[in-house]
Structures are given as structure tokens and as C-alpha cells.
Structure 1
Amino acid sequence: MLEAALYIPSYPQDMFSVKAATNNGATVTFKQGCNILTHKDGTTFNIKEQGRLYYLNVVDEEIVGDRVNAVYDVHTWHEILGHCNFEDILKLQDVVKGKFVNSRSRKLDAKATTPLELVHTDLAGPINPVAKDGFKYAATFTDDYSGAIFVYFIRNKGDTALVLEKFLADCAPYGKVKCIRSDNGSEFTGMLLSQY
């Protein structure tokens, strides 16, 4: 039904854009205590309301990991993030840019020539207000070759090693990650991560 959706494996809910759904032929009905999305083929989905957001509780056991879009403009992020205000989206620029600091004396790194040869990682947060289910941080893993982005939500920085293990396991069917590059934040230099 929706195209150009972002797959976030650790997020248990499916966020959606009402505008994108209706543009694709769906009907969305909001009534006190009964919110429903009806696909153009007649299939209906219950929409759960929590705070100021609505969630689709749809679970698809067949996950396609290679259908990930890497680069979006601010308007696309506005839609993906449930029509979050633009000021908050612009605050995420450091995450999108990987907190890159321009240094003229440093030579450019060679671009990866195969998938999973080089993966960049960063941890964003704490997120304020705390996201649904208590998530405070978002760990991102970006494949240098394909631009594929994997996002995992975690409750505290101490879970970074666990989410790295999950990412490596998720990538295992596609090959072995050869190199992971981070900004050397404390969450990536801890004792639990030294084994990697």
C-alpha cells in the first residue's frame, strides 16, 4: 500500500502518514474510540491512538531487509516522522551527517566497493520526550556501499553492545561486516564492545 517506507526492525509499531495512505486509495476514519484504515481492496486495519499519534498494529513475519531507502529531503522526513515539526527534524541533521567535522588536513577515506565492507554507526539521543515504550536512543548503522540505513531503538546507552549484536545477526544472511566506524563516543568504546 505504501511505497518508500523506512524499515526499522526494533520498532514494534508501524507509523504511517494519513496523507500517503489516502493518496494511495485508502480511507481513514477517526471516530471517538474507533479509528480505522480501510485499504482500497476492502481490508480494514485498526488504528491505535496514543498521545497525539496514531499507530497501525500490523505485523508482517516476512521481512525484506534490502528494501531500505537511504537519503530523504526534509519534507520526506516530515512525512516519515508522522508530520513532526520541521524545527525538530532539522535538529537531526547532525545524526544524518554523522556528526562529520570538516578537516582539511585529513585525506578522504576510500569508498567501500562491496556491501558490508564498511558500516558507519552512531547513537542519537537522549530523545526528548521519551518515545513510545520508553525508547530514549536511536542507534543507526549505515552501509557505506549501498547507503542502506538500519535503525534500532534502545532505552539506554548500555544497550549499545546488544543492538550491535542484533545488527550483525540481521546482516549475517547477506555477508560478514568487515569494518564498523563510529565517532568513538563512550557508548562505542566500552569494555563490552572491545571484543568487536
Structure 2
Amino acid sequence: MEEKSVEKSFVTSTVFNGGLNSNHHFSSMEINRQEDKFSVKHLGSLTSMWNDFAGFLNKKQIHIGGNETGMHGSESHSAILKEFAGFLAETGCVSHEDASGTLKSLSTTLKVCTLDDYWIIDSGATDHMTNKLTTLHDFEEMSCPSKVSVANGKGVPVLGKGKIKLLSNLVESMALYVPSFPFQLLSVGKITYTLKCLVIFSPTNVIFQDLITKKTIGEGFLLNGLYYLSKNSFACKIFQATLGVVQDHNLWHQRLAHPSEKVLSSLFPNLCKEDNQCQICHLSKASGLPFSSSLTRASKPFEIVHPDIWGPVLESYDGFKYFVTFVDDFTRITWLYLLKFKSEVVNVFKDFHKLVHTQFSSSIHILRSDNGSEYMSNNMSQYLSTQGILHQTSCVGTPQQNGVAERKNRDLLEKTRALMFQMNVPKRFWSHGVLTATYIIN
């Protein structure tokens, strides 16, 4: 990228309604281009007045180093503006008061609004580079000479490096100090890596989009084939407001109602994690300690059986409101029986016991259940006693101790709902759904 192309990029012929050659008029003025470049956005609001100004300069025929009469190096551009204001008043275009206002307007455009404040967004640059030492902090001089290669193949000396404040204080971006550069470069590769964002180039502008939230976090504009991001532009202020305000981990943790570290890191990937423990989290998120997994398990089939009853629920088309499961602790195989009434559990268990004895030539040693009334009734207690079956019950209010049966019922119901939703089956056919789910699991 040559200096010539950058210097010419601050004006375009489309700004001038008359199609005047902008390069001619401003090369003819003895104005330092590095100090008094024009903002195309401000010139765009001066179209008619600008044509008058350009025509005035054309008549004056001011040339750098020329021999023609007119204003030369000893006269600043402010003198030119004063003469132009007088010219407008004399020709009757504006009053003397309006001419004074015009002078201020053009002077502001010439002196205040410069492209020196803009950074060029360069996809070919491997590092951020600036010619202004004031834009860097934590500056370090190069201990040994270093150079960067430019488009023409020549090496340009690098005098040091520092961190830029342009994008945000949240992400420390290193930039090279190259005083011989006539412009400032932002490396697209560095931006995408440090900010975790997409850079989308379009025919009119450039957009920075966050990878996670997909929100626009900044933008720039296109001017004569170059993309610019200005530190003083509205777009860059959005950029800074989005990225530069937040750098306190604890502050955002409190603002967002104490989310987990996983949630916070997904919202702010570049936020530095702090090791200090949050006392509010300990107080507000306290929960009971989990029950440890059982260290004992049956050594053979039907040594321990876990029963559990579920219901009541919407009556099925065939009249059932409950079901009871018997889970073998050793094999985890499940037997499920549909019930119309909860009191049928005793008779169903007797049938199940006979099935085990007849089909598997085995006997149930331990029945481990919760404290449901269906298991604590006299009929159930007498039957267990006569059959020599030991009845173990969990503590009151601790279904975790009967976790095998509880987890099995959850699995059955999840699969039942999935089957019924998949086939759009009415709820009253849940009895067939749960039997099918049991068959699939077994």
C-alpha cells in the first residue's frame, strides 16, 4: 500500500457536484496534507458551497512553488478562507454575518476533521502498526533493529511496540510503532484472534460480528477502496461501548445474578477469571449433599427387588390409573403391571413372586421399597413374613435410597412420552405406551 494512494483517498470526485478534480485544487494549495486532510463526510454536507470555494481557488490559480501571483507559502489556508468569505460577501451570495459563519464552517472542516484519526483495516497486515506514539501505552523500544516489509518490498524500521487503546481496554492488542508510516494499520488477523469475531467486508462498509452472540460489535466505512475505522467515529464508539466497558469479572458476575463460570465465560470469552470465592453463591445456591452411590449390589438375580408405584394419572382407555414396577437389582430387568387401584399392589406382588418361582426357579430374598402405604399394609407384611422375604424400607422423605426404582420409572416415562409424541398418540393410550417402553428397555 503506497503513501500516494492513501493521501489521495480523503476525497472523491462524487462529493463535488460539478465533478471538479479534487486533487488539482488541493495539490495547488500549500497545505500540509498530513495535518489538514479533509473529511469526506463533512465535505458531503457542503456540496453547493464547496463548488463556490473550488471555483474561487481555480480563479486564484494557486500553485505550490509557482511563480504566479497569488497566495504562496507565507500565507496559510486560514488567509485563503478569509478572502473567500469576503468574496462571497462582495458577490452578494451571502451576507457579511453569513460569510463569517461560512468561514468557521470551512475552517472546522479543514482543520479539525482529518483522516489521521482513522485506522485502515488491512487484511494483509500481520500486525497492528501506527505512526503515532500517543496511541500506544506500555511502550517498549526495540532492543535490536527490526523492519517490516511493505507492498513495494522495502523494509520500514520498527522503533518499538506497545498496546493500543483503540478497540478496548478489555483486550490488550499489541501494535508496532513505525513512525515513517503515513497511516495506521489494523490487522484483520489480529482482530479476529483477539476479539473472537468475524470481519465482514461489503461494497460500502465493514462489519465486526461477535462469533458467539452474532451481534455487530463495530463497523467501518469504505473510501476509495480502503476500509477505515475511526477512533472518533460513531461506529468505533459502539465498539468501545460493547467491548471496552467491561473488564471486571466480579462486577459482571454480580450484575447477571451470580451465574456459573461456564455461563459467564460464554458471554464474555475474554474476561479474565478471578480465583476468589463468591460468598453470595455459597449462601444462595446451597443444596443438600448428594447421596453417595450404593456400594452393595445383589450377587445373583432376585436377591434384591425394588418396587415402585406411579400414579394416579389420566385414566387410560382400558381403565388403568397406576402402574407398579419391580426391578431386579442384579440384572436391572423390569416387570411392569398396570393397576386400576393402588390397593391391587399386594395381589400383583404375589403374582410376580409366583412368576419368579415358576419361570426362573428362584426366590425373592429382599424387597426394598419406600414407605408407601401399599407396602406397609397388614396383608403385604403377612405375605412377606410367611414367604421369608425380608422387607427393607428407605428413610422417610428420602426417595434417593430407593434410587434404582425411581430412576427406572423416570426412564420409562421419558421413553413413553417420546413414543407417543412421535406417533401423535392420544394421552389415554399411555398404558400401551409404557408397556412398549418397558419392552424396549429390557
TM-score normalised by the shorter chain: which range applies? 0.3 to 0.5
- Per the normalisation by structure 2, the TM-score is 0.20
- Rg bigger for which structure? 2
Greater relative CO (CA pairs within 8 A, separation 6+): 1
Report which of the two has the higher share of helix: 2
